[in-house]
Amino acid sequence: MKYITQIFSIWLLTPLLTFAEVPWTTEVYNSYFNQCKSSMIQQGMNESKSNSVCYCMSSSFSKEFGMEQYNYLRSAQPNPNGSIYDKKLYKIAMHCLK
């Protein structure tokens, strides 16, 4: 669970872009993936596991939120009882951190 808080603080460092119904740009995807991986390694996760988790998170967030809902993702909190965006974020995080 300690990784969840750090994963979502990465959103503050990722560029803010908004487009309609499109997956993340390569720049946004790579930025999130690299920041996620660095954060996981700093917290003690090994490189192989961090690659797996961050690939899962980046791919899932891009698919589920896309650029259209990117701003909602940035403000969401991982909460299974929160808003629709909080729930989506929580579900993806729990899946990827298994």
> Mind listing the pLDDT tens digit for each residue in 27-81?
999 999 999 999 999 999 999 999 999 999 999 999 999 998 888 988 999 999 9
pLDDT of residue 70: 85
Count Cβ atoms below 10 Å from residue 84 Cβ, excluding itself.
10
Domain contains 45: yes
Which residues form the domain of 88? 2-11+22-96
**Greatest pairwise CA separation for the chain in angstroms:** 37
CB contact at 8 A, 37 and 49: no
Domain count, the chain: 1
1: which 2 tokens?
């669970």
Domain contains 34: yes
pLDDT of residue 20: 39
3: which 2 tokens?
């990784």
Domain contains 60: yes
Query: Which residue did the predictor score with more confidence, 17 or 31?
Result: 31
DSSP 77: -
pLDDT band at 5 (very low <50, low <70, confident <90, very high): low
pTM recorded for the entire structure = 0.75
- Cα–Cα distance measured from residue 29 to residue 66, given in angstroms and rounded to the nearest whole number: 10
